Amino acid sequence: MATCIICHLDIIESVDSFHECPNGHPTHTDCLKEWLLHSSNCPLCREPYSSQVIEDFKDFIQQKEQEKQETLESELNQEKIKQIEKIAEKMIFLKFVESIEVLMDAKEYEYALSRLDFHDNDTNSNQKSQNIMFLRGKINFLRGRYDMAVSLLTKLVKKKYDYPEGFLYLGKSYEALGLKEQAKWAYDRVN
Ligand SMILES: [Zn+2]
Ligand SMILES: [Zn+2]
């Protein structure tokens, strides 16, 4: 009885379908199928399998390669879709920020703040909630609530140090409160 050189189980010649390399190393047909996806040489002696053996498995190998290709393509497509969704989400948020800026220009501070509250509830992105916190701080500065602006913007720059506009409006708010030292400290961190 022969032993398959791939799975090391017996090959029962009357029952199992099997192949041999040119040096007579036997493998189950099913074991060889999988092996040929990686190499066309015998796993034991490295001798190339005959073109007849390769021909026997050609369809299977082609099919597997096509499946691999299709899996890869569908993964790429999903990646692309995710990217597009991310960009779309960003665009929507930018539009939202623009609409808040329009409200600020029109001095509709209360309305702008209520829209920010509404939006903040359904965001789980750090960057977005930082942007929202900045807008809240800025609006409070614009409507003369300097203490609230300071509290919001301090919270913001603690979370994200690299936020020049945050420090700018923090400085302006300190200045409006007559806190010159603190204002200078904030302005120094704008750049
Ligand atoms: Zn086997
Ligand atoms: Zn061999």
- pLDDT tens-digit readout, 5-14: 999 999 998 8
Same domain assignment for residues 50 and 105: no
Same domain assignment for residues 69 and 51: no
Residues of the chain where predicted confidence (pLDDT) is lower than 70: 120-124
Give the angle subtended at the CA of 120 by the CAs of 114 and 123, to the nearest 5°.
155
pLDDT reported for residue 80:
94
Same domain assignment for residues 35 and 73: no
Same domain assignment for residues 127 and 182: yes
pLDDT reported for residue 124:
64
Tell me if residue 18 falls in helix, strand or coil: strand
Bridge partners, 48 (sequence order):
41
pLDDT reported for residue 191:
81
Same domain assignment for residues 88 and 49: no
Give the CATH number for residue 167: 1.25.40.10
27 touches 44 (CB < 8 A): no
Distance 71 CA to ligand 1 centre (A): 27
Same domain assignment for residues 78 and 136: yes
Domain boundary among 31, 56, 81: 56
Distance 28 CA to ligand 1 centre (A): 4
Distance, first Cα to last Cα, the chain? 81
pLDDT reported for residue 118:
84
pLDDT reported for residue 122:
59
Name the residues around ion ligand 1, CB cutoff 5 A: 4, 6-7, 28, 31
Distance 43 CA to ligand 1 centre (A): 12
Domain boundary among 56, 82, 99: 56
Q: In angstroms, rounded to a whole number, what is the distance separating the alpha carbons of residues 69 and 120?
A: 42
Residue 48: nearest ligand to its CA?
Answer: 2
Same domain assignment for residues 8 and 74: no
Same domain assignment for residues 87 and 51: no
The number of domains in the chain is 2
Domain boundary among 56, 74, 95: 56
Query: Model-level pTM?
Result: 0.64
Distance 60 CA to ligand 2 centre (A): 21
Domain that holds residue 167: 62-188
Same domain assignment for residues 73 and 38: no
Same domain assignment for residues 38 and 100: no
pLDDT reported for residue 123:
59
